[in-house]
A and B are shown apart, each in its own frame.
Chain A
Amino acid sequence: MSEYSVIGKPTTNVDGTAKVTGEAVYTFDMTLPNMLYGKLLRSPHPHARIISIDTSEAEKLPGVKAVITGKDTPGGKYGLWRRFRELSDQEVLATTKVRFIGDAVAAVAAISEKIAEEALDLINVEYEPLPAVFEPMEAIKDDAPLVHDDFANNINNTRHIEWGDVDEGFKKSDYVREDRYTYSSQHPAPMEVHSSVASYDKGSGRLTVWSSTQSPYFLQLGLTDALKMREGDIRVIKPHVGGGFGAKNSTMPDSVNAAVLSMKTGRPVKIVFNREEEFTATEHRTAMHLALKIGLKKDGTIMAKEAKIITDGGAYTGLGATTLYLAGTYLTFPYNIPSYRYDGVRTYTNKMWASSVRSFGATPAVYASETQMDRAAHDMGIDPIEIRRKNAMTTGYEAPGQYRLGSCGLLPCIDRVEKRIKEKWTDLSKDEGIGFTAFAYMCGGIFNWIDTPYAFSGAMVKINVDGTVDLFTQASDIGQGTNTVSVMICAEELGIGIEDIRLHPADTATTLTDLGAWASRETLMNGNAVKAAAGEAKKVLIEVARMKLGENIVYDLEVKDKRIYLALRPERGFSYYDIVKDAIKRNDGEPIIGIGHYTPHRKGMVSPAFAFGSMGVRVKVDRETGQVEVKDIITAHDCGQTINPLGARGQVEGSIQLGLGWGLCEDLPTDNGMILNPSFVDYKLIRSRDMPQIELHDVPTYDPEGPYGAKESAEGTVAPTSPAVANAIYNVIGVEFNSNVLRPEKVLKAIRKKEEKEEEAMNG
């Protein structure tokens, strides 16, 4: 929108200089005076009772300052689903039993990492191995080993979503199909491993923790519960974070143990995971089995959809319960579905717990949903793009009791990508194919399982006498560009420049609560809070200007380009700087303070707004090796008003990289609960030479719920990528895949099987 000064303009990263010079400090880099280094001793068994732990030898090692086990911790249990206390199922260190290979049972603090590592070898743990369960289908059986003894069975959480009459809907359908899918587990693998530094102040009894976290507030709450301290006595500060992608939402053993060790030794303690720990003992994608049934009329109109999901939750809750809910939600996007029924079950298993990973349950759900759409289209002889267009959501659509769309640009997104596909991909060889998908994504959750009494996002603006602004937000920039968005919104609202604003981010002591970076909430929720805070400050400026002008209240004042002036007579106004000075004088010397917050109210059960889009991919299949090469991608997104086009593009490309990896090569195979490939050598990721070029189209709309109409961008593009590739592969070799990780061997096997069948049919 050309009417904005800052919003919508490509803006470089406010943290740019720090990041390109190596000056940006990550928790990984931090040292404090008198600091100790901590390491965790982890269980080698997937399920075992802890009989005894002998730390005496480790304690004697010169340089070791503390060795702790479960009994040395305050004993609080914690988790993110705090509203349901039984789901606070994590301990600082396992006390009675260990529940996955990697479950922490002891921690050491020493004067060097080397000594801490050596001390671990000296701790003697006696285990009594117990039968373990690794598969959700096994875990739900009555005779399955019980992962949590205080639960009646291994069901951690269930979800049910329903509207309309699904059975009636199927009866009225001309075409019904059922498909079953399995989506495997993968790791978000952020570049910065989990890192925490804890410093306990003996004098005040207060704790400060710096951590590579997606949510300082969530961490603060987790520490409060684990350490049984007052929330306000715990301060969490988020330095620069080297990526999260869902792995850093929960309170993790690095932070809680660093805290306890610091309390015990009276010195700061730093714990940094190594990459093997990062792969084996941090949160990753929830693997799941899905059963999907869809009913359509012969013209392609969807009548009913029914879904069942069972997820492999691993040993603890994390955010896996939310993933269970959202997977069921995303199965309903982005189409009009008159009747829907979903039942989800999350099971405990003896593996590292699975939680949220970028797209929060959408990736498996959308893989199933979007490949099924294509199959239905093929069967019914309807063009796959046309069937999506026919059922596409539009502004105002309501899923009864669940969500309502304040804006929806899906149809123009579908049109745009289809148009470009027809223009660009005209010369396909016989080994090439095109796949198409449509998608939607939420802008933060309505949910309050964290059980906070605070607004979901809060911000504060302080205008100083020289017109510079200090902006305080707790929002977590983990690379996605939130800091820049916050500053841009504040600048737009106050009519000043990016260079006039200093951001004070992510410190629970000095900023108002923000729930953190997950489910793509920062732009909308934190953005609204920043806009509100700046808006309050702006009110003060306008009031002072109005008084000075002496004009009638009906005449609007504009705040732009460092001036406050009459909208209809721009020459009549004042410089921003003069008004600021005046306002402070008139308020007995107090700087101009604006406080704002945002919590979605009466916005259904899921999210206050949704972004939309569509994607086309062009692939080439090597029929002799099964290698799938993604040659080109065209995508269009409706993120309302794009705040920063540079940042949005970066995010989209990054999310597509993850989506491609999750569809083609990333996988966490396990053997009796042990992850077999915990390194970048064996865990395969997309790299520079495998990445296709991406053509991105912005299809602007305006959502009344978002700041300047803005919605999320690019968590949505992850999920549709792997089904688009699967759909494209189908169009080349005619094979359907009911599971992801379409490795060359899998594709080749499928090609062979099809060729055999065809031969049999011919000879038949």
Chain B
Amino acid sequence: MKRELKFVVNGDSYDIWVEPNTLLVQVLRDELGLKGTKRSCDSGSCCACTVILNGKVVKSCSMLALQANGKEVLTIEGLANGAELHPIQQAFIDNWAFQCGFCTSGQIMAAKALLDENANPTREEIQMAMDGHLCRCTGYNMITEAIQDAAKRLQGQKLQEAAQ
């Protein structure tokens, strides 16, 4: 029997009815059409499905949608500011931090959550934060560099905003 799910996704409020056995990733992708969040493994081992829930990264394939009731979700689609890319997204592009791109949404969301918590992470701290994310294309180092670059850009942005 369907139950009510009231939550906010990328700033928009939704009030929908879902079966309890629905996973959060199914609601995001199939109900709301937000296909940017991917699925890859069926065993909670790859983090391709990572989204930000009330400010923290979670695997959307490994939680029931109804557990997001009353909460706020941020997906990759919610990151850019209209047509303007988020500095993390731009840093990923400029540092060739993706190839096939299938793991990229999850990686970027995790990078955002990391930099929100730790504005200047060391290489090791980045690797620790990103360790759940499986990637078959890149070899990881360029992703780490992109995140270091993103950290600099965000700090620069903060300084600019402070100056204004």
Contact = CB atoms under 8 A, between A and B. Distances in A.
Interface of A: 12-13, 15-26, 28-29, 188-193, 240-243, 245, 274-276, 478-481, 646-647, 649-658, 679-681, 685, 687-689, 691, 693-694
Given A22-B36, A480-B99, A688-B144, A654 B42 contact: no
Nearest to A650: B96
B39 to A, nearest CB: 8
Contacts of A689: 127-128, 131
Nearest to A22: B36
16 contacts: A16-B98, A20-B98, A21-B36, A21-B77, A23-B36, A25-B35, A191-B102, A191-B137, A242-B102, A243-B137, A653-B138, A655-B139, A680-B46, A689-B127, A691-B140, A691-B141
Which size bracket describes the interface of B in this complex?
35 or more
B31 interface: no
Contacts of B144: 688
Contact of B41 (A21, A26, A28, A679): A679
A479 B139 contact: no
Given A20-B92, A242-B100, 13 more contacts: A12-B93, A19-B101, A21-B76, A29-B29, A191-B40, A192-B100, A240-B100, A242-B38, A243-B100, A679-B41, A679-B42, A688-B140, A694-B139
B131 A22 contact: no
B34 to A, nearest CB: 7
A284 to B, nearest CB: 13
Interface in B9-53: 29, 34-43, 45-46, 48
B93 A191 contact: no
Given A657-B139, A689-B127, A691-B139, A647 B46 contact: no
B40 A192 contact: yes
A653 B136 contact: no
Nearest to B109: A22
Contacts of A190: 100, 102, 136
Contacts of B139: 650, 652-657, 691, 694
A3 to B, nearest CB: 24
A679 B134 CA distance: 13
Nearest to A685: B134
A656 B136 CA distance: 10
A707 B143 CA distance: 30
Contacts of B46: 191, 680
Contacts of A685: 134, 136
A657 B99 contact: no
A344 B76 CA distance: 49
Contacts of A242: 38, 40, 100-102
B86 to A, nearest CB: 9
Nearest to A189: B136
Contacts of B153: none
B43 A654 contact: no
B85 A243 contact: no
B119 interface: no
Contact of A654 (B90, B92, B136): B136
A275 B41 contact: yes
B105 A22 contact: yes
B148 interface: no
B131 A688 contact: yes
A481 B93 contact: no
B140 A687 contact: yes
A236 B79 CA distance: 33
B99 A680 contact: no
A51 B85 CA distance: 59
The 5 closest A-B pairs by CB, nearest first: A22-B36, A479-B100, A242-B102, A653-B139, A19-B101
A189, A652, A654, A655 pick with most chain B CB within 10 angstroms: A654
B24 to A, nearest CB: 16
Contacts of A651: 99
Nearest to A240: B101
Interface of B: 29, 34-43, 45-46, 48, 75-77, 79-80, 85, 89-90, 92-94, 96, 98-105, 108, 127-128, 130-131, 133-144
A190 B46 CA distance: 12
Contacts of B40: 191-193, 242, 275
Contacts of A680: 41, 43, 45-46, 134
A23 B76 CA distance: 9
Task: Give the dominant DSSP class at B's interface.
Answer: loop
B43 A479 contact: no
B112 to A, nearest CB: 12
B43 A20 contact: no
B89 A21 contact: yes
Given A646-B96, A688-B140, A19 B104 contact: yes
Nearest to A687: B131
B46, B105, B136 pick with most chain A CB within 10 angstroms: B136
A146 to B, nearest CB: 35
A654 B75 contact: no
Contacts of B48: 191
Contacts of B80: 21
A471 to B, nearest CB: 21
A30 to B, nearest CB: 9
A26 B96 contact: no
A20 B108 contact: yes
A478 B98 CA distance: 12
A478 B43 contact: no
B40, B43, B75, B102 pick with most chain A CB within 10 angstroms: B102
Contact of B137 (A23, A649, A650): A650
B128 A658 contact: no
A701 B85 CA distance: 38
B137 A654 contact: yes
B75 A657 contact: no
B141 A694 contact: yes
B38, B108, B134, B137 pick with most chain A CB within 10 angstroms: B137
Contacts of B135: 191
A191 B103 contact: yes
A479 B127 contact: no
Contacts of A480: 99
Given A20-B85, A276-B42, A654 B138 contact: yes
A658 B141 contact: no
A653 B137 CA distance: 8
Contacts of A652: 139
A12 B94 contact: yes
Given A15-B101, A19-B101, A22-B76, A653 B142 contact: yes
A657 B96 contact: no
Contacts of A16: 92-93, 98
A26 B103 CA distance: 12
A22 B85 contact: no
Contact of B127 (A22, A679, A688): A688
A655 B93 CA distance: 20
A92 B39 CA distance: 27
Contacts of B90: 20
A272 to B, nearest CB: 9
A481 B102 contact: no
Contact of B89 (A13, A20, A481): A20
A480 B136 CA distance: 11
A249 to B, nearest CB: 15
A244 to B, nearest CB: 8
A188 B37 CA distance: 22
Contacts of B75: 22
A558 to B, nearest CB: 30
Given A21-B36, A23-B36, A679 B99 contact: no
Nearest to B21: A114
Contacts of A191: 38, 40, 46, 48, 100, 102-103, 134-137
A90 B43 CA distance: 31
B79 A21 contact: yes
Nearest to A661: B136
B82 to A, nearest CB: 11
A240 B100 CA distance: 8
Contact of A650 (B38, B89, B108, B142): B142
A22 B136 contact: no
